[in-house]
Structure 1
Amino acid sequence: MAVSFKDLGLCNTRDMFAGAMAGKYAIPAYNFNNMEQLQAIISGCAQSRSPVILQVSKGARNYANGTLLRYMAMGAVELAHQTAPIPIALHLDHGDSFELCKDCVDSGFSSVMIDGSHLSFQENMALTKKVVEYAHQFDVSVEGELGVLAGIEDEVSSEVSHYTDPEEVEEFVRFTGVDSLAISIGTSHGAFKFAPGKPVPPLRFDILEEIERRLPGFPIVLHGASSVVPEYVDMINAYGGDIKGALGVPEEQLRRAASSAVCKINIDSDGRLAFTAAIRKALAENPAEFDPRKYLSPARDLLVELIKHKNREVLGSAERI
């Protein structure tokens, strides 16, 4: 039997994006895979009084179990309300089929992404429209994608990027009825976004500005927007890791994007790096430790601090509730 996201205390993204557009900030969309990551995301956003989109990839959903995720989302709402009643959406990240999106809608997700960017333009439009028609029956928001990001993250991978063609966006949005659109302007999935030893190329704000002109007031999404914080990379390497040449998107470029039509910015790799760095440090300093609570707690704490920093200094979403 289908479950409504409203019964879980969740929100769709429509009002979130309207507020972000008016206030010139972006809603944080943080990926999570386990309880400690979820606790950190909710605590960090509640403490900074920021709305939040909890993101679950196809791989994370398989890992955590769809039924368990539903109850984790309910618990997240209750946890947040202990500090601040922040709006929370549960979003499928990079859904790759109608069947997966439908299952998430039926399971209580309040927002889904259908990623048809690997298909032809016409096939992408047809698949996206099919998802929209189903999801909108239940007031669930839908994110589509035009353009391809390079890099690897979870089950999403591409060796090269293809910038979004601004000439396609109007037809795509009009035909499909999507609520938001993910575009490619130079961000990339994973921790290795750019070639080491070379200047980081700026994001293609000219493409973003042309899309804004063609779709005035329409919510735009950036994927692959982790900054790959050097502090965490250095900590991982200092405690036995081997991450060389990892580079991310400069935070000042993300802040500029967040003050435009970009209403949602996805952050996954930064959270993974912070979590891993704290665990490596804890185990290196306490090699006899085998209680997971003792090394997962500092990881959770470091992730809370990262999230509060992102909300306050990068996305501008803090103190919006």
Structure 2
Amino acid sequence: MHTVAVLALDGVIGLELTGACQIFATATDPASGQRLYDVRVCGDPGGTSVLAFDRPVLRAEAPYGLAAALTADTLVVPAAGEPSPEVVELVRAAHRRGVRIASICTGAFTLAAAGVLDGRRATTHWDHTTELARRHPAVEVVTDTLYLDEGDLLTSAGVTAGLDLCLHLVRRDHGSAVATAVARRLVMAPHRDGGQAQYVPTPVVEGNDSLEPLQHWMTVHLAEPLTLTSIAAQASMSTRTLSRRFRARTGTTPLQWLTTQRLHRARELLETTDLGIDQIASASGFGSALVLRQHFARSLSTTPSRYRRAFARPG
């Protein structure tokens, strides 16, 4: 079983700690119902101060010591206070061992202090990206993304973006169907693309100004050849107004959002049906197997056939 170690360092943000645990602990095999991850919270003996934003709300004692994190397959580093030399060395040693390491929010500062992000792309909460770049100039700091997947090293923006990152790891390990089941169980969005902007200046609102009905209509009509003009007509807006409102509320464009949903649909069909690649390309709105393969290569660095071999579920 894949072991996930989540660091509970002093000053850890409670939602990041428990949210990461919840995501991985909820993932189960669809056929057997068996858990897919062994989740271990690792920390210093004597307990950890857990924060809600910047205020201590409780003290918790981790069931595993820091050394247990070295034997994990994946190490998750949530936001906490300044890392101790022991923690910095722990991250270095885990990286040398080939452990997959993911940070949430300002946990990226711990990875940067260990030197594992030098020469790599990384992100953190939008309010701390400037400081991360100043303190660690060898890191290529990306300021406008929810999370970054660099293979063995992954970083994310603040709090809930960490949940998106953990769900992304479940999807990467076990496919879209398992990740979607986790999201459904936790009543969260099944997929937010990592490239989506993390800072959206206008909050999502309900009512007449909400894009939710339009987004639902787009998902229902994924297989159709939708254009920006046809989407704008459905919303009774000009293309310029639609694009402006869509980016303000989602951090991306209508067509980029549509492509993400189509990829998500194609992945689900590859995992759960015996449909041919041409049929899946048509059903997900890509039109042809060639276009589907191009999007898989660009976004997932694989082919539809390889993806199916890796994640197809019996029945």
TM-score by length of 1: 0.28
Task: Flag the structure with more relative contact order, 1 or 2, with Cα contacts below 8 A and sequence separation at least 6.
Answer: 1
Q: Say which one has the larger Rg.
A: 2
TM-score by length of 2: 0.28
